[in-house]
A and B are shown apart, each in its own frame.
Chain A
Amino acid sequence: MHSFMAYVTMDRIIKFLLEVTSLYKIVLKETLATAVVKMMVHAPYVARKAKAGQFIILRVHENSERIPLTIADYNREEGLITIIYQVVGKATMDLNNLEEGDYIHDFVGPLGKPSEIENLKKAIVVGGGVGCAIAYPIVKALAEQNTEVYSVVGFRNKEMVILEDEFASHSDKRVLMSDDGSYGSKGFVTTGLEGLLEEHKDIDCVFAIGPIIMMKNIAAVTRKYGVKTVVSMNSIMIDGTGMCGGCRLTVGGETKFACVDGPEFDGHLVDFDEAQSRNNIFKNQPAHSFEEDKTCQLLKEVENGK
């Protein structure tokens, strides 16, 4: 102990404690839609470097799983990172049990490659459901570099709509779709996209982010039009640093690793069926189902506006 004290000066201890005590503090929590929640977290290391398309990995508590979430926004000056998550299972539920002023145990990033948006004159961004949280920073970054940007956002119904104003204010045009027609136009995002592609023959790139099946369908549409398409793959991850190989997927017949080679890939080359199947490892597993009751309970609470 004595040697430790000799080598660490008092002001350094104070600085260290200050840094540690404010790290990963939740400074804002806000419910955006049914079971979709936004948090702003103090993480200066991450905020300093964050770019559109990147993600973080967090652990809520000491024994929690490591889960990846996209950086939905950042504030470099204040060292803040925004995440938007959907409560779907144990880890996201535990996260949702934290409140403003609480701390997240671990929070690392930014991970993954930033979106490649340089030199794009005209682009379309398609977001589905909570995938809009991942799509929004790309829209924003495109708008900031003066790319002409069109967005198509789709939701199950009116209750599930998120980031409505954000998309509107950063897009040259925004098309809002809902599956049941309760808000915006009725139909899937593919319909909205086809409309835009018919109207604009000079689109450089389509970004599509949402459920795997949606991205697969979008890629089928853009293939028809011959437009380059980038998708963001939400593989199951552990370390997120290129060590475990759990996030692997097949792209153009080659094995790629979503955490270091992605998460964005050429939508015309990704093997979506395999990716879908790999994400289903949590289904049909007795070991995970004991949590299901609790999750349903929580989803109800969130739905009731808690």
Chain B
Amino acid sequence: MANKTQRTLMALKDSKERITNFEEVALGYTLEEAMAEANRCLECKNKPCVSGCPVAIDIPKFIHEIKAGNLEKAFEVLSEYTSLPAVCGRVCPQETQCEALCVRGLKGEPVAIGALERFVADSHNGILKTVPSETKGIKTAVIGSGPAGLSCAGTLARLGYDVTIFEALHETGGVLRYGIPEFRLPKAIVDREINALKKLGVKIEKNVVIGRSLDLKDLEDDGFKAIFIGTGAGLPRFMNIEGENLLGVYSANEFLTRINLMKAYEAKSDTPLYLGSNVAVVGGGNVAMDAARSAKRLGAAHVYLIYRRSEEEMPARREEVEHAKEEGIEFKFLCNPLEILGNENQYVSGIKCIDMALGDVDQNNRRRPHEVEGSEHIIAVDNVIMSIGTMANPLIKTLGIDINHQGLIETNEVGQTSNLSVYAGGDAVSGAATVINAMGKGKQCAYEIHNEFMSKREA
């Protein structure tokens, strides 16, 4: 690696082999590779990269420790800022965050910060030697066990609070468990993070739906002094086109949940998933990539990814798009569905699309697509997977806290809702966003809760 303009590449599984299973695609650095990559970091005084990280990890500081081969120290640095380094190192959109601002990127490739973060986390058992502060005996509740809830719970526990997580499903992890597939984020990593929380004394009550099984008042009556809500993005959107309720049309959430949470691809699982040999995925985000690549792994011969703008506008991470291409996903850019067609048994038989062209720039600075007259065409498919975003969960309305016109929870800048002992963060507040954003908000709320108690104690 004499040429310091190029980053150390991470080994990938061969694309032909990887579409036959759900094993992780990116294999991670060896110690030598990590040290070589760490040595590319200039340890800039003004740390431009740090301002690109939503939780402001002291990036040159942890990389400095890798250079010295001191991985325990490096992990401690990371842990000051993030409770899910093994996850964020894998799924953060680094290229638009920390790495986008790396000085190395000016004349070559930025330092592979995410890959290094992953390396440090993977070489560690995830359990910090430092003991939490003394227990305060104050009960706090965390609703939802996605990244927002997990990081809030972890931070509160370290600060000495008595924490209980309430999770609606039979498994913890939120999107980390049921959304992001094994080949991008092995579930063993999610398990490890959750075990680390349990070691801190965090209690987890699964199969409890807040708003139905218990409401906020019950938690308050039960002695919970502060509550954090991290219930995630909510329901999938549909296009409202003809044929969307035919058999074989799934939302990406349903499709991925059947695979990841219910393990529909394993023989021992009872949850069915009916997938034909030709599959269309509609959308252009990470979720669409995950659905398309999962369909390929389940044996679909052709997987078409239908996106109404061009490749440049696609919101998915570059890396995911590259991996999808290597795996044979067939991209249909500038193409928009008009109707889903069905056979006599009401199963999907095709999707009718129209070509699009890019017109003027809209207020979000993206060129607005418009239909090309007379370009309608039909793609023969057996399944359609809709992956065009989410809308707020109607259950939120029953909680008795203020919501905005989109149905998302309203909070002030420190994460407090209209009920002052209730905080909220993550996708339930922002709408579908990122793991690191959710994690950052969970942690911020934990500190706010702590400050609130400290100031009360002093007063």
Contacts and interface: CB of A to CB of B under 8 A. Distances in A.
A interacts with B: yes
Contacts of B240: 255
A69 interface: no
Contacts of B201: 3-4, 6-8
B218 to A, nearest CB: 8
Nearest to A111: B212
A274 B132 contact: no
Interface string B10-41: 00000000000000000000000000000000
A249 B245 CA distance: 8
Interface string A1-42: 101101110000000100000000000000000000000000
Contacts of A76: none
Interface in B408-453: none
A241 B238 contact: no
B2 interface: no
Contacts of B262: 65-66, 238
Contact of B263 (A4, A59, A63, A250): A63
A108 B236 contact: no
B395 A242 contact: yes
Contacts of A285: 272, 274
A288 B269 CA distance: 12
Contact of B170 (A59, A90, A246): A59
A255 B243 CA distance: 12
B118 to A, nearest CB: 26
Interface stretch (B56-64, B66-74, B246-254, B284-292): B246-254
Given A45-B214, A63-B269, A108-B168, A246 B245 contact: no
Contacts of A280: 247, 346
Given A63-B268, A90-B270, A108-B207, A244 B236 contact: yes
Contacts of B214: 45, 48-49
**Interface of chain B: mostly helix, strand, loop or mixed:** loop
Nearest to B237: A245
Interface in B188-236: 198-201, 203, 206-209, 212-214, 232, 234-236
Given A4-B199, A91-B270, A246 B345 contact: no
**Interface of chain A: mostly helix, strand, loop or mixed:** mixed
Interface string B257-299: 1100011001011111010000000000000000000000000
Interface string A274-306: 100110111011011000000000000000000
A110 interface: yes
A288 to B, nearest CB: 6
Interface residues of A, number: 52
B271 A242 contact: no
A246 B254 contact: yes
B251 A244 contact: yes
A239 to B, nearest CB: 6
A97 B235 CA distance: 35
Nearest to B233: A243
A257 to B, nearest CB: 6
Nearest to B199: A4
B32 to A, nearest CB: 34
A188 to B, nearest CB: 26
B245 A243 contact: no
Given A3-B200, A246-B254, A45 B213 contact: yes
B169 interface: yes
B131 interface: yes
A304 to B, nearest CB: 25
A144 B355 CA distance: 60
B108 interface: no
Given A4-B201, A111-B209, A239 B263 contact: no
B206 A64 contact: no
B238 A4 contact: no
Contacts of A277: 246-247, 346
A285 B275 CA distance: 11
A233 interface: no
Of A90, A248, A249, the most chain B CB neighbours within 10 A belong to A248
B247 A281 contact: yes
Contacts of A105: 170
B235 A287 contact: no
B209 A241 contact: yes
Contact of B235 (A59, A238, A245, A250): A245
A156 B199 CA distance: 56
Contacts of B135: 7
A112 to B, nearest CB: 8
A261 interface: yes
Contacts of B132: 3, 7
Contacts of B271: 65-66, 238
Nearest to A90: B270
Of A4, A8, A245, A280, the most chain B CB neighbours within 10 A belong to A245
Of A281, A285, A287, the most chain B CB neighbours within 10 A belong to A281
A49 B215 CA distance: 10
B219 to A, nearest CB: 12
A103 interface: no
Contacts of A288: 272
A65 B269 CA distance: 8
A260 B394 contact: yes
Given A49-B214, A242-B234, A243-B235, A282 B168 contact: no
A106 interface: yes
15 contacts: A45-B208, A49-B214, A107-B207, A238-B262, A243-B178, A243-B232, A243-B235, A245-B236, A246-B250, A246-B254, A260-B394, A260-B395, A278-B247, A281-B247, A281-B274
Interface of B: 131-132, 135, 162, 168-170, 178, 198-201, 203, 206-209, 212-214, 232, 234-236, 238, 240, 244-247, 250-251, 253-254, 257-258, 262-263, 266, 268-272, 274, 345-346, 393-395
Given A111-B209, A255-B245, 4 more contacts: A45-B207, A65-B272, A243-B235, A282-B272
